[in-house]
Structure 1
Amino acid sequence: MLLMLRMAFGIIYIIQAVFYRITSFIDRKKPQKLPPITDSLLTFSATALARKIRQREVTCYDVVNAYILQIKKVNPILNAVVDNRFFDAIYEAKIYDEQLASGKFDIETLEKEKPLYGIPLTVKESCALKGCSHTSGSLGRKGVKASCDAVVIELLRNAGAIPVCVTNIPEQCGGFESANLLYGRTYNPYDTRYTSGGSSGGEGALIGAGASVIGIGSDLAGSIRIPALYNGIFGHKPTAGIISNIGHFPYSEDKDFQKLLTTGPLTRYAEDLELLMKVLTSTCDRNLRLDVPVDLRQLKVYYRFSMDEAFGILPVVPEIKNCVQKVVTHFTQYDIRAEELPIEWPTELVEIMLAELINVKDFPQLLIDANDPTLKKYGIIEFLKSLFGLSQHTTQTALLAAIFDTHFPFSESDILHYIKQGKEIRQKLLDLLGENGIFIYPTFRRPAIYPEFSVCETLNTIYCGIFNTFGFPAVHVPMGLNHKGLPIGVQIVAAPYQDCLCLAVAKELETAFGGWVPPSISISE
């Protein structure tokens, strides 16, 4: 355990505890509510909508237009969308309808080759969508538009999806609070006083608000799953390497970076995760068995309520632990007795995760100067400047850059030690889970937080980030709202290439606990 690291964050947590209470007291005014969902088309899964389109029950135009109208209603409150292609999306939807009317495609062909035909898609701004903003939230890339689609967007377009907009992120995806100096901050649809998370926070907020049905995000240390928790939706981090990252910015060919970064889906409905994963992995050379039904009775189920408490790590709140317990209890109906994880789960997981990040030799440049992109900038200087509002960069991205610049507080021997320790724990977990085991674990230690305190919670991304380090698939499952009306839920983890287990359990828990809950009070037909 690196004492200096823990001491630094221990002091930060003490200061945070004081100011969090002050902020809670001051910020008691009820926030603006989102307009209710009044169009019934917005209440169907993408899977169901695609079926309705194929069977000519609804038109592509009706579906795409309904979502564009809802985006226009909620975005002034959320600030989730940073660029759009509404006109082009409507035009494409009308062409799709004409193709259906002409008999160009039959139902069987559409279902097999274009399963997303006519479905609106939203995209995290760091994933290239041709003609739309592709700045990664950096002032140094202001005005940059994507010249072509990312590989994943091309796959989704070929499957019939119609992209409508790109959504907000932290600068260079460097944090789990979606705010940058180019597009501002994205707010939580359930309570705008809270953060939408990051780095796929714009996606999370828009989907959680009912203004998108499927979206694409990316995950380096929880960047899909934490926004999924905060915004009450499903988010899947796939097995490392099975989905292309080409077209993502920031990007590196470094094999260690490629192991950590994964592109994946965010959805309101669990069945759409499976649909999107089939499309996104259509060029994967591994048999992921996504079409094979999972027999839940054959599962081995393990759980932990939290990491062991240690200095510098804040405890998991009771309502999140309760989510873990509810899932454990639910599996008893299948005569499955869940077992607490029987391997050592050390508090040094934090150091293991950070050591893997720091060990990336060719990490993308995070601090891009707005006047001279070739200029070398130093993270520690920009971090100090950012505290006084004097930097071109956000505090969270400058802090991340400072860590990568200095490797503080790790020595080379520390890095080697923690990487070795991580490999040993990974192997134990791999042996334990095998091809039919799942691990129930918190996604984060608490529901959404005030955005001003996101940097203070940096180490607590360990609940997600360790599975990027290990390369395991993991899905966040929403399980209702807490007493403050904020979403809560749990993370389901499986061994590499067993994504099908995560997706099957997500569908099971959606049935059991209700899944996504609209942030507006009622749904009118």
Structure 2
Amino acid sequence: MFILQTMLLKLRVIFGMMHIIHAILCRILPFIRKKPQKIPPITDSLFTFSATALARKIRQREITCYEIVDAYIQRIKKVNPILNAVVDTRFSDAIYEAKICDEQLANGKFNVETLEKEKPLYGVPLTVKECCAVKGCSHTGCSLGYKGVKASCDAVVIKILRNAGAIPVCVTNTPEMCGGFESSNLLYGRSYNPYDTRYTPGGSSGGEGALIGAGASVIGIGSDLAGSIRIPSLYNGIFGHKPTAGIVSNIGHFPYTEDKVFQRLLSIGPMARYAEDLGLLMKVLTSTGDRNLRLDVPVDLRQLKVYYRFNMDETFGTLRVVPEIKDCIQRAVTHFTQYDIRAEELPIEWPTELVEIMLTELLNVKDLPQLLVDANNPMLKKNSVIELMKSLFGLSQHTVQTTFFATMFEMRYPFTESDVSHYTKQGKAIRQKLLDLLGEDGIFIYPTFRRPAVFPELSIYETLNTVFCGIFNTFGFPAVHVPMGLNHKGLPIGVQVIAGPYQDRLCLAVAKEMETAFGGWIPPSISINE
């Protein structure tokens, strides 16, 4: 035990020291950052409709596919110079495909019932995180080592969505090799938060989150290894769902490995401005799977068991949850009293070693994708420690956050094999307790992150605090982020809702209920002409 505590302190001491720098920068950065640039307000009521509603209007011939796709393309062109969220487009192809959809409708190729059943996203524009292959679009991992690479075919999830009628419009920015929680790289640059461009949109689905939050996309696809859908959803004021492990195909994701632990940790899932679209997308994404999630079965909210926690037990090396996030949890819990539900604080001893449990599961990935690829010689094996040192002085082909994570993974620092075994066993025990508690009718309300959006320079200091999301990748549970308004600075706030494996429908039903109660997505700039 003494050895384990020593290993624990190695990690905590490093981040404890980093938090001293973090505290100083938090006080300095607000004064030296430029005044935020406002994104253009939304002036067309078309952007107030969900993808579900737009698909219905298309089927009923109330609006054309061309009108919708073109409107979203024009919106992207307006906001992207400010956000830098888009890395490659297929605007001409999307317009062409929209016109074909309209011609098919005019010629009577499909009736309303067929479209609703077989092509429920017919004519609806879709945006996609760059790491998910869209044929003909950039597929580089946003790494200089893969500059110019285009996807030769669609990822499995994109094929499924296209078959359902969706029209991909563009692909969006990520950290290099999805290795970070701030969407910045040396190939495409940094993305910015639509609510305040001084802040990061998060990562690794940060470009996707920013575009959707800005009202320039109605639905999108992200991926989540340790909060990479949910954290950007928090920062950008939208809904984002991490599905139960293994129910959505990861084939076509980059980086990719057949490693079973990696496959379990990584989940591709939907991001959207409106809660009902998560359900529609999940039905489509799981339509070819072999697991029935009963997504069409209504959820009786009165039969739910509701648990909550305001924070993780504060330990050296982690930062505390801010009051406004705790208030979100309290408001969510209080809301369920109208259903005669008495929410209960999680009756499980929540270990202080959650960070170690999460990190050791990542270290259980034996066949790790190569993160540091040389732009001049892709076959060259780079020394991660040297690249980390070089990146600190701007001398590397890689970002600090990617070299930092590559170093941790390759050195397995600060854990020994016995540490990994100990924390893996501890994680399995906690997971089983949660399984027994939640069952098929329980939800857990918990912070998505400890605070609203952060300055991009501070993201790496917040690394350990991603445990609020990452621990549920470790456990394989479904989790959805739910927006709950804006704070006094105009930044989005909200919580995540977790359920037991294969109970995704509980997450989605609660997200819809909380959207009705708390307003859901709020446009960054409101000026809608009815």
> Fold-level match, TM-score > 0.5?
yes
Determine the C-alpha separation between the residues in 2 that align with 1:329 and 1:266. 26
Which residue among 227, 233, 244 is the counterpart of 2:232? 227
AA at the equivalent of 2:493: I
- Equivalent position of 1:182 in the other structure: 187
What are structure 2's unaligned runs of at least 5 residues? none
Q: Which residue of 1 aligns with 2:411?
A: 406
Q: Does 1:493 align with 2:498?
A: yes
**2:507 equivalent among 496, 502, 505:** 502
- Greater alpha carbon shift after TM alignment, 34-43 vs 174-183: 34-43
Would the aligned equivalents of 1:480 and 1:514 in 2 still touch at CA under 8 Å? yes
2:15 aligned residue: 9
Aligned equivalents of 1:89, 1:343: Cα separation in 2: 50
CA deviations on 1:448-498 (whole Å, 9 max, x unpaired) are 000011111000000000000000000000000000000000000000000
Which ranges of 4 or more aligned residues in structure 1 deviate by more than 2 Å?
A: none
Q: Determine helix, strand or coil for the equivalent of 1:263.
A: strand
Q: How many residues align?
A: 524
1:475 corresponds, among 477, 480, 494, to 480
- Residue deviations 1:11-45, cap 9 Å, x none? 10011101220112223x53111101112211100
Give the 3-state SS of the residue equivalent to 2:38 in structure 1.
Answer: coil
**d(CA) in 1 for partners of 2:184, 2:31:** 24
Whole-angstrom CA distance in 1 between matches of 2:388 and 2:464: 17
2:392 is the alignment partner of 1:387: yes
Q: Give the RMSD, CA atoms, in angstroms.
A: 0.6
Distance 1:195 1:187 in 2: 5
State the 1:380 CA deviation.
Answer: 1.3
Between the aligned partners of 1:40 and 1:484, the Cα distance in structure 2 is 26
**Alignment partner, residue 103 of structure 1:** 108
Partner secondary structure for residue 522 of structure 1? strand
* 1:455-466 correspondence to structure 2 within 5 Å: 455-466=460-471
Alignment of 1:200-219 (within 5 A): 200-219=205-224
Aligned to 2:444: 439
Q: Is contact 1:445–1:460 with CA below 8 Å preserved after alignment?
A: yes
Letter in 2 for 1:12: M
1:338 corresponds in structure 2 to 343
In the alignment, the residues of structure 2 paired with residue 324 and residue 382 of structure 1 have an alpha-carbon distance, to the nearest angstrom, of 41
Q: What letter matches 1:446 in structure 2?
A: R
Task: Name the TM-score, length of structure 1 as normaliser.
Answer: 0.99
1: CA distance, partners of 2:259 / 2:442: 30
Aligned pairs for 1:152-171 within 5 A: 152-171=157-176
Query: Equivalent pairs: percent with the same residue?
Result: 81
- Residue of structure 1 in register with 2:126 after alignment: 121
1:22 is aligned to 28
- Give the letter for the 1:369 counterpart: D
1:62 aligned onto 2:30 = no
One-letter amino acid matched to 1:480: G
Task: Indicate the residue corresponding to 2:312 in structure 1.
Answer: 307
| In 1: Cα distance, 2:219 partner to 2:310 partner | 30
1:284 is displaced (CA, Å) by: 1.5
Aligned residues of 1:378 and 1:401 also touching (Cα < 8 A):
no
Q: Distance in 2 between matches of 1:283 and 1:54?
A: 23
* Secondary structure in structure 1 of the residue aligned to 2:529: coil
Q: 2:98 aligns with which of 93, 102, 110?
A: 93
CA positional deviation for 1:156:
0.2
1:523 alignment partner, SS class = strand
Alpha-carbon distance, 1:521 to partner: 2.9
Amino acid at match of 1:144: V
Measure the CA separation in 1 of the matches of 2:335 and 2:191.
35
Out of 419, 431, 445, the position equivalent to 2:424 is 419
| Conserved 8 A contact 1:181-1:394 | yes
1:404 aligned partner, one-letter code: F
Q: Which whole-Å deviations, capped at 9, do the CAs of 1:161-185 have from their partners, x for residues lacking one?
A: 0000000000000001000000000
Q: Pick the aligned partner of 2:291 from 286, 289, 310.
A: 286
Shift of 1:269: 0.0
The answer as to whether partners of 1:67 and 1:120 remain within 8 angstroms in 2 is yes
Matched, 1:192 2:197: yes
1:256 aligns with 2:261: yes
- How do 1:363-374 residues align onto structure 2 when only pairs under 5 Å count? 363-374=368-379
Looking at structure 2, the residues matched to 493 and 263 of structure 1 have their Cα atoms a distance apart, in angstroms, of: 16
Q: 1: CA distance between counterparts of 2:389 and 2:435?
A: 42
